[in-house]
Structure 1
Amino acid sequence: MRDGTGWLTKPLMFVSSYAPLFIMLAIRFEDVWLRAGCALAAAVGLIALPTVMRLQEVGSPTEHSVTDVEPAGSGASSYLAGYLLPFLTVSSPTAADLIAYGVFLVVAFLVHMRTELIQVNPTLFLYGWRIFSITDANGLQTHLICKERILTGDRVMAYRMTDDVLVATTSR
């Protein structure tokens, strides 16, 4: 994670990926402070994503000739299991409930930081981004975040977001 937002990239992408979850929790909770906290977390996530994407445009993009491309949604079903949380919560949680929710978020954060889950981010899709798993002509296997469909044979100009994720600027 050399470029853009550096070491903040994955934490900010984590917060952005759970923005829809925090919106659902804000709707579900009755306590005004819990609603406000969840609404604030959602707002931070919704603002963080376009900010992170814009800050990736540091330095010069590199060209990648795509030799293999697949949709990168294979982890989506297991990731979205975390979105069951609002439906399993109570509207007036106890302190123990809140601690349990916090433990869930800490575990989800740690998993996000140590895996390639950055490519499964519902907020990216809400903003119109697509995510592909690609291999380029140099043998680089990575995830590519882009606004348009990528096909084998396309040439893509992209910035490096993390060690295993690129953000496209243009293709063809």
Structure 2
Amino acid sequence: MTPWFRTLFLFSSFGPLYVLFAASLYVQGVRLWWGGVIAFAMAVIVFLWLKSRFKRKSVIRKAITVESNLDEGVFSYLVSYFPPFMTDSFSDPAKAIPIVIFYATMVFLLFRSSTIYINPFFIASGYRLYRGRLEGSNRSIVLITNRQDIIDGDMLSLYEVHPSRLYFGE
């Protein structure tokens, strides 16, 4: 997965945040509130495009051992949505600059970790995210799947999205 693909993944994961920014700007009377709505629509389109690319590579059948469920991380991820609620004026640099710094730091940290794959759109679409290991490998992977429960040793059809790191499984 190229850095561009990871950037698109991160952009789409902030989709709900764009709606909150749009609402906050609208309430404050800022004319550019519609930019948040456009960003949300683009995030949905990017998410659907990313999801369509999951099955592009050849499929392998492997057993997986689940280490943890990453879905639960979405709630701590959603905490980052609070700043728009707490800011009463984005036109005031004294209030907007700390938010810009906060989100820049957050984007940097998310880009450097596997947390980038936690996407509210996946969870809303019924997908699950797991950290696990493939049969015969010591490397930890992230698995995105539409299966609701995975028991250790389940054989899955896996599509490699990012070599040796991110798989889509059915």
Common fold by TM > 0.5: yes
Runs of 4 or more above 4 Å deviation: none
Partner of 1:124: 122
Q: Secondary structure of the equivalent of 2:65? A: strand
1:161 aligns with 2:157: no
1:67–1:92 Cα change, 3 Å: closer
TM-score with structure 1 setting the length: 0.83
Q: Which runs of 5+ in 2 are unaligned?
A: none
Counterparts in 2 of 1:19-168, with a 5 A limit? 19-29=15-25, 30-33=29-32, 35-73=33-71, 75-91=73-89, 93-139=91-137, 140-149=139-148, 150-163=150-163, 164-168=165-169
Distance 1:100 1:68 in 2: 38
Once residues 91 and 43 of structure 1 are traced to their aligned partners in structure 2, the CA distance between those partners, rounded to angstroms, is 24
- Mapped to 2, the partners of 1:128 and 1:74 lie a distance apart of 14
**Aligned counterpart, 1:9:** 5
Contact 1:133 1:143 in 2 (8 A): yes
**1:93 CA drift (Å):** 3.1
Gap regions ≥5 residues in structure 1: none
CA RMSD of aligned residues (A): 2.0
Structure 2 length-normalised TM: 0.84
Question: In the comparison of the two structures, how many residue pairs are matched?
Answer: 164
Deviation at 1:24, TM superposition (A): 1.1
